[in-house]
Amino acid sequence: MSDPHAICTDFSAHFALRPRILVRAPGRVNLIGEHTDYNEGFVLPMAIDRATYVAARGRPDQTIRIYSSQFAQEDQFSLHGIERHPNSTWPNYVRGVIKGLLARDLPMIGADLLISSDVPIGSGLSSSAALEVAVGYALQVLNNINLLGEELALLAQGAENSFVGVQCGIMDQFVAALGRANHALLIDCRDLSYRPIPISPDVRVIVCDSGVHHDLADSAYNERRATCNTAVRLLKTRIPRLSALRDLRPADLESHADLLPPDVYMRVRHVVTENQRTLDAAAALEQADLATFGQLMNESHRSMRDDYAISTPEIDLLCDLAHAVPGCYGSRLTGGGFGGSTVSLVTLSAVEAFTQQVAQGYQAQTGREPTILVCRPSEGVGRLM
């Protein structure tokens, strides 16, 4: 549900009072730069016009009550001693963020929160970051706390790392907090500097959700991250200045390849080449050179499939189907991988043909219907009321 009026009515139905504020935080799609954020590299995501909404009102006590419209479930806890929810995942995103705020010694009151979202879960569109950032922002407003966008993003990432247990990088939370309408953000994940890059109004960014999400995706993600850390440790024995894979030049990788087991070498090669592709793609987008941008997307996909080994047959099929549509500049897996979605850049006049052909082809070959979203680059977190 994304109608502000309906969300507020729903809040009143649950908590018997009107909400005081309504906050919106968007999902995101990454155009290029995958698994580079936790290697202190570059990413190029955009916030999308699908979002998580939090209607909220302060309480005079120290209790937090939450109702999730999506799950039709409630959660309630005290601000004193927040623990992990024993058997449900979504409350942990909220609990983790609030615990993070408390850890900063910020005085906080209790609150009633109603959460509603139209970011599909498990599609690689960062429904979790949208939730974390929306909740963090809402509590910040209720408690007159003033965090910068970067700080809010770090707080949200910290919640996911330590409370939910996914060792994600900063990309999703950063763009949920600081996304810009009609732009993608080129983010340097080392120093968190960023540059908004306009997306031409003549193209659309299309997300195709494969409908396949692997249960082990989170642990496989953590495993990739651990492999990158191992690679840094091994390479450091000969390149002492190396503090993250971001520092590794392609030539360095080739001269020290003997230090790495073959699969580790391939993972590192993805990261090193993906960083360069992301910078090149941002430059191409800035010059509205969409053909080059599309080629880099395609190369990125091959690298994720062959070197980083995070694609699936369904995702590869979606990319192949996209490549066959005239007017599609490029297509690739987006997000953490092991299922989820592809992102494609498509010229405006080809959007309808793209949607039809990809949907038909996918259904014919897998028996599944993909969910296809034509996304608009949207604004980061903000208050609607």
- If you write DSSP's letter for every residue of 146-165 in order, what string do you get? ---HHHHHHHHHHHIIIII-
Contact 171, 187 (CB under 8 A): yes
34 or 314: CB nearest ligand GLA: 34
Q: Which positions from 114 to 143 touch ligand GLA by CB under 6 A, shown as an x/- string?
A: ------------x-----------------
Catalytic residue among 37, 172, 247, 307: 172
Please tell me the chain's helix, strand, coil percentages from 3-state DSSP, rounded to the nearest 5.
Answer: 45, 25, 30
Asked if 26 interacts with ligand GLA (CB under 6 A), we say: no
Asked if 340 touches ligand GLA (CB under 6 A), the answer is no
- Do residues 253 and 269 make contact, with C-beta atoms less than 8 angstroms apart? yes
For residue 103, what is the enclosing H or E element? helix 90-103
Helix (H, G, I), strand (E, B) or coil at 346: strand
Tell whether residue 169 is a contact of ligand GLA (CB under 6 A). yes
Structure tokens at 75: 């959660």
Residue 35 interacts with ligand GLA (CB under 6 A): yes or no: yes
Is 172 a known active-site residue? yes
Cα-Cα-Cα-Cα dihedral of 126, 129, 131, 136, to 10°?
-170
**Can you read off the two tokens belonging to residue 366?**
């897998």
Least distance in angstroms from the C-beta of 122 to ligand GLA: 12
Looking at residues 242 to 271 of the shown chain, list those that interact with ligand GLA (rule: CB under 6 A): none
Among 23, 94, 125, 171, binds ligand GLA (CB under 6 A): 171
- Tell me which of 7, 46, 51, 168 binds ligand GLA, using CB under 6 A: 168
d(CA 355, CA 357): 6
For residues 54 and 383, what is the distance between their CA atoms, to the nearest angstrom? 9
> Which one of 10, 11, 26, 34 is in contact with ligand GLA (CB under 6 A)?
34
Q: Is 54 in the site for ligand GLA (CB under 6 A)?
A: no
Told to check if 38 binds ligand GLA by CB under 6 A, we report yes
Q: How far apart are CA 236 and CA 256, in angstroms?
A: 10
Note whether 339 binds ligand GLA by CB under 6 A: no
Stretch that binds ligand GLA, among 35-43, 205-213, 280-288, 356-364 (CB under 6 A): 35-43
Of these, 336, 361, 377, 380, which contacts ligand GLA (CB under 6 A)?
336
Binding flags for ligand GLA, 264-303, as an x/- string (CB under 6 A): ----------------------------------------
Looking at this protein, which amino acid is placed at residue 55? A
Joined tokens for residue 55:
């209607």
Radius of gyration, CA atoms only, the chain: 21
Positions that interact with ligand GLA (CB under 6 A): 30, 34-35, 37-38, 126, 168-169, 171-172, 335-336
Q: Which residues are catalytic?
A: 172
